[in-house]
Amino acid sequence: MNDSRKTKFVSFEGIDGCGKSTLMDRLAGWLTEAGVPNIRVREPGGTAIGEKIRDILLDPASSEMIGRAEVLLYSASRAQLTWQVIVPAMEKGAWVLADRFVDATFAYQGFGRGFDLEHLGMIQRWATGGLMPDKTVLLDCDVDLATSRLSGRDGLDRDRIEREEGAFHRKVRDGYLALAGKEPARFLVLDASKPLEEVVEDFRKRFWLVEIGG
Ligand code: TMP
């Protein structure tokens, strides 16, 4: 495969339960089969420090967390991941597949919690040096469907963010769609309410075959 093309940093976004991991597994598999080095990272987390931050952020016991602290902790985890893992991997020519990146902060903390998008943008640019994904795959589906897919987990197994009410997740979903509407060239929106294999097939046709050329 000719890998001189620009698309190398791909983020996957969507509300909790939308099915990001399967798509990421497939893309990693296709790249590896084609002999293209790739790494997979997740947010929050992806580094030893980031995983500790993840524990603080997602622990239901962190219920008293202030929204501004939440923004900064997600951004701190992202800064660590960007400079410790993503930038070095891209410099070596590897593809980076990210389970969430800056758009998650705009969708969850911006549209979900109501923080000003410009302020969030400034913090993101500082944390990441302005690094943005070449392509962002948004798995869009109805909040009730996504919630029912949360591995059949009952409420007690859900993390602090997953425990937010439906109205919060609906704001996040609408936020993601608004972000995609603003940047149609970067976003690829997939209908994730379809059966999984159909979503994978859409992704293969609309991303792999178009961007990569098979
Ligand atoms: P995950 O369940 O996809 O691993 O993501 C962890 C949770 O953190 C998920 O509910 C989305 C949320 N989140 C934010 O609220 N802001 C962010 O910037 C990121 C990366 C995730």
Mutate which of 16, 82, 102, 124 for ligand 1? The one with the most ligand atoms within 8 Å of its CB, which is 16
Identify which of 158, 154, 144, 155 has the alpha carbon closest to the alpha carbon of residue 193: 144
pLDDT at residue 148 in the model:
86
Which residue shows structure tokens 């620009």?
6
Which atom belonging to ligand 1 lies closest to the Cα atom of 57?
8
Peptide bond into 44 cis (omega under 30): yes
Q: Please give the model's pTM, rounded to 2 decimal places.
A: 0.95
Per the CB < 8 A criterion, the answer to whether 33 and 161 are in contact is no
Q: Which residues, in sequence order, are bridge partners of residue 187?
A: 136
| Strand ranges (E), the chain | 9-13, 38-42, 95-99, 135-140, 187-191
Q: What is the per-residue pLDDT across 69-86, written as a single tens digit (0 to 9) for each? A: 999 999 999 999 999 999
pLDDT at residue 212 in the model:
75
Whether the pLDDT of residue 207 is over 60: the answer is yes
pLDDT at residue 211 in the model:
80
Q: Which residues line ligand 1 (CB under 6 A)?
A: 16, 42-44, 74, 99-100, 104-105, 108-109, 161-162
Amino acid (one-letter) located at 37? P
Mean per-residue pLDDT, 147-160: 75
Average pLDDT, the chain: 93
